[in-house]
Every structure is written in C-alpha cells, then in structure tokens.
C-alpha cells in the first residue's frame, strides 16, 4: 500500500545561472580580460510541487524550460539558488550517502556503462559500489533480464549494442540497488518505435511491482500518455500546470474534433454554412468545433449529409501541450 507522505516535496525552488558574455573577435577577447558583461538567467523559478511515494509523474516542457536543471537539483548534482527540497526526507545537495543509495537518475543522452566492457561487468562494478548482497544482486539481475529480454546481450561489449539495447542495460545498471526514487530524463530519446514501447512497458511494470516513485521527462507524448496519470508542465522555469493528464484538455482547449466519413462522394469544397473546417474532400471531413456547439453541428451534419461514420474526439494531448507553451509568456 502506498504511503500518503510525499516522497518528493519541493517548495519555492529557484536556480539562477550567472552567465558571462563577450564580443566576438580579437577585440572582444582583449576587452573581456578587463570587463565582461554578466547576465543572470533563472532556469527554475519558484517551483513548488509534491509527489507521493509510488507515483509515476510526467514532467513536460520545451527545450530550455528547466526540466533537466530541476532534476539535477533533486538528485543533488546542482545546488539551488533558493528554496527547499525534501526527497525521502533528505536534502539532495547535502549528498548524504544514505540518500544516494535510495535514488537513481537515468539520462537518455548520458552513458554510465563502460564502453569496452560487456554490461555484466558494469553490473558487477555497481554491485560493489552499492555494497549489494550477492544473492539480492543475482535475484535482481535475473528479474530485470527477464523483464527486458536481455539474456543474450549481457556478455557483448557495450560498443557493439544498438542504442535501444544500451538503454535497456542503462536502466538495469541504475536499478540494481533497488532505488525508492527514479528520475528518468528522456529515456526513449533516439530509439525506434519498438524499443520505445519495450522501455515504456518495462517502466510501467517496474513501477507496478516495486512501487518506485518515478519522475519522467520526455518529448515523446506516447511515453507520457501510456505511463502517467498526472503531469507537471514547466515553461520558462515555472510550473504552469500540475494535475491529471486527462484534465489538460478541459483547462486549455475550448474545442473538440469532429471526424466524418461520407457514404457518398461530396463536392471538393466545403459548404460556406459550415465553420471551422480543417479538412474536406469527397470522402471525409475534419472539423474543429467549439465544445458548446458540438451538439448543434453534429445534428446539422447528420441532417444534411449521408454519413457512414461520425466521431467526436478530444484534441490530442500533444496539441494541448503545444498550446500551453505558446500561450505562456516569458516571466520577468
């Protein structure tokens, strides 16, 4: 049974980077010896949220929004400028060894496996680093190898593995010590569709079995839609949404999509009486309709056209997220 206590508790977390700028060329380099323009960039601005133990939460935002910076502060890699964070009761940047044994961070563009060694050798090294009991280690390895279908890959040098195979092994290396909190930063980036699906299925099953708290960032909406019921959305360094993924459309979108398949050929151009037509040809049509107008427009379509199929659908989550990013102005 999951605890009602938050595994992650963030209050007014801020990170400001000090950046030096210089003019281009030799003149700029000489000038920079005596004076450099300094600017301050707030990568994370007063972020506050809590995540319960066992939750699997999506963390969304465009490039440069502050996602990775925030994950690095939660894992203790970066010190914040201000604010408070508690992860499993620890302050991450204190770098307490007990805390370091209870979390893991997997970054899709960073490798922790030894390039010239097979994964099994890196796993043994992690076993010794974390002081894992050999019997527990072997049981964990067997379980994850079975979940990820890795048996044939354990003794092949990492450099000879495909990107998808390496990512699976990266996950195993990060989970050998059975962390209570897992930070996943773009775990499916660059993978083919089949590898993405296998990684998603593994994360979902591992979270179900181990009740591990997971904070997942991804640019692939399929990752978030399949794995996360709750999402945090960050833009320009600030949290702009925290809630159910299913509620995003209700909050940010005022229309629905009507899709039609005609039973007989229609004119190539839509009638002037229909508004918000996105697509229209002889066999099908797509309309974006205000939610309050859906019933009226649907009745009108069924009365005027011979229709084989008509569906009313919510706007795709990917479009909802894009609208959030476009509508949120930079904070000053």
1 has a pLDDT exceeding 50: no
Domain positions in the chain are 6-14+48-249, 254-313
CA 226 to chain centre: 11
Pick the residue with more confidence: 276 or 97? 97
SS3 15: strand
Q: Which two tokens stand for residue 87?
A: 């992860």
Average pLDDT in the 81-93 region?
95
Asked whether the domain spanning 254-313 has the same topology as the one spanning 6-14+48-249, the reply is no
Q: How far apart are CA 82 and CA 254, in angstroms?
A: 37
Domain 254-313: which CATH class?
Answer: alpha beta
pLDDT score of 303 = 86
Q: What length does the chain have?
A: 332
Count of helices and strands (H, E) across the chain = 11, 13
Q: How far apart are CA 140 and CA 169, in angstroms?
A: 13
pLDDT score of 3 = 54
pLDDT score of 328 = 58
The total of other beta-carbon atoms located within 10 Å of residue 171's CB is 22
Q: How far apart are CA 305 and CA 219, in angstroms?
A: 40
- Topology of domain 6-14+48-249 in CATH is Rossmann fold (3.40.50)
Quick: pLDDT tens for 302-332.
Answer: 888 888 898 888 777 777 777 777 765 544 4
Q: How confident is the model at residue 4 (pLDDT cuts 50, 70, 90)?
A: low
Backbone dihedral region of 236: left (phi > 0), alpha (psi from -120 to 50 degrees) or beta? Answer: left
271 has a pLDDT exceeding 90: no
In 3D, which of 103, 49, 87 has the Cα closest to residue 242? 49
Average pLDDT in the 141-148 region?
88
Quick: pLDDT tens for 219-266.
Answer: 787 888 889 999 999 888 889 899 998 887 777 777 888 899 988 888
């Amino acid at each position: 049974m999951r605890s009602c206590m938050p595994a992650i508790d963030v209050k007014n977390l801020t990170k400001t980077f000090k950046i030096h700028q210089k003019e281009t060329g030799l003149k700029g380099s000489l000038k920079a010896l005596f004076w450099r323009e300094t600017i301050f960039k707030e990568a994370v601005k007063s972020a506050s949220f809590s995540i319960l133990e066992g939750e699997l939460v999506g963390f969304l935002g465009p490039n440069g929004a502050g996602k990775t910076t925030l994950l690095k502060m939660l894992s203790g890699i970066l010190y914040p400028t201000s604010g408070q964070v508690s992860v499993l009761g620890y302050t991450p940047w204190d770098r307490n060894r007990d805390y370091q044994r209870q979390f893991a961070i997997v970054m899709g563009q960073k490798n922790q496996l030894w390039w010239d060694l097979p994964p099994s050798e890196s796993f043994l090294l992690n076993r010794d680093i974390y002081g894992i009991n050999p019997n527990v280690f072997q049981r964990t390895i067997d379980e994850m190898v079975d979940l990820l279908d890795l048996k044939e890959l354990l003794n092949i040098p990492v450099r000879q593995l495909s990107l998808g195979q390496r990512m699976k092994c990266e996950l195993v290396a990060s989970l050998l010590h059975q962390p209570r909190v897992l930070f996943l930063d773009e775990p499916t980036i660059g993978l083919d569709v089949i590898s993405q699906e296998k990684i998603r299925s593994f994360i979902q099953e591992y979270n179900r079995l181990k009740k591990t708290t997971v904070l997942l960032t991804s640019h692939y909406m399929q990752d978030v839609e399949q794995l996360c019921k709750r999402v945090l959305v960050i833009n320009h360094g600030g949290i702009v949404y925290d809630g159910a993924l299913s509620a995003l459309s209700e909050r940010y979108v005022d229309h629905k999509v009507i899709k039609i398949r005609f039973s007989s050929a229609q004119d190539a151009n839509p009638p002037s009486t229909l508004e918000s037509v996105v697509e229209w040809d002889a066999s099908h049509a797509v309309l974006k309709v205000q939610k309050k107008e859906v019933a009226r427009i649907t009745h009108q379509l069924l009365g005027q056209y011979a229709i084989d199929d008509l569906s009313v659908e919510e706007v795709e989550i990917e479009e909802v997220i894009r609208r959030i990013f476009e509508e949120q102005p930079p904070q000053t």
